[in-house]
Structure 1
Amino acid sequence: MLGVNRFPRSRLFRWMALRHSSSKLFVGGLSYDTNEPVLKEVFGQHGEIIEAKVICDHKSGKSKGYGFVHFISKDSASKALAEMDGQVLDGRNIRIQYANKKEGCCNLNLEREMSRQITKGKDEGDEASQDLNVYHKVSFDHV
């Protein structure tokens, strides 16, 4: 199937691609004492940050030892990954990789937003409907 464009390039499809872009990093191996301001300060040296999040246990409120840093640009994320992976932060060697997008049922907010876009008086054959079909095919064929 050479020359066939499987993925339409509508505004909604571009939004989906950007939503799960490589500007978000997973940071593992964090010290349990590392908090969000520290994470933001350290990674902020590599570019502007949208959000720095340390994941905590719901019951105890204590860090689980990992978090996420979301940069404004892919270039900043790439630079941070290259320079920070394996470095020591609060006495621990941290591991960094690009964050994986959530698959399947965990991605309900994205699916709801796309459905909302489609049901705003659009036809079944429009680009948004095609994008939702592609999204379902890509996301749920693995399950």
Structure 2
Amino acid sequence: MNIYVSNLSFTIQDEDLRNFFASYGEVTSAQIINDRETGSSRGFGFVEMSDETASKKAIAELDGTVVEGRTINVSEAKPKAGRPGRSNSPFRSNNGDNYNNPKSYNENRY
């Protein structure tokens, strides 16, 4: 089961997140999500556990606990929805031309 953990301290690392859940069962992965530009933690992450029963117990017991002075939120991760309006971007035409790229604009124009 994939678990979403939010409101984490920005100092929490992947291994810390793994350790929070390890006492409940096998953790197959634990990842803090970082900002693409700065590399800093965004304050949330995902934990994947192999046993659904252990996952549900971890969610029930860890949700609302205080870690490094912050009350964390723990819940079952929802599937990522598609990005709405992606195909209707003002910088893309329906045929895939990228109008934010001056080279493609010039190639189409001349």
TM-score, reference length from structure 1: 0.56
Tell me the number of residue pairs that the alignment of Structure 1 and Structure 2 aligns.
84
- Indicate the structure (1 or 2) with the bigger Cα radius of gyration: 2
**Which residue does the alignment assign to 2:62?**
84
- 1 or 2, which has the higher helix percentage? 1
Residues 1:75 and 2:58 are matched in the alignment: no
**Which residue does the alignment assign to 2:39?**
61
* Cα distance between partner residues in 1 of 2:13 and 2:31: 8
- What code does the residue aligned with 1:50 have? T
Provide structure 1 residue ranges, at least 5 long, that are not aligned to the other structure.
Answer: 1-22, 106-143
- What code does the residue aligned with 1:79 have? K
* Cα distance between partner residues in 1 of 2:2 and 2:54: 10
Structure 1 runs of 4+ off > 6 angstroms?
none
Residues 1:42 and 2:26 are matched in the alignment: no
| 1:74-125 residue CA offsets vs partner (Å, 9 max, x unmatched) | 11110100110000112211001110012336xxxxxxxxxxxxxxxxxxxx
* Cα distance between partner residues in 1 of 2:18 and 2:69: 17
Q: Percentage identity across aligned positions?
A: 35
Aligned-pair RMSD on alpha carbons?
1.4
- What code does the residue aligned with 2:18 have? K
Provide structure 2 residue ranges, at least 5 long, that are not aligned to the other structure.
Answer: 84-110
TM-score, reference length from structure 2: 0.72
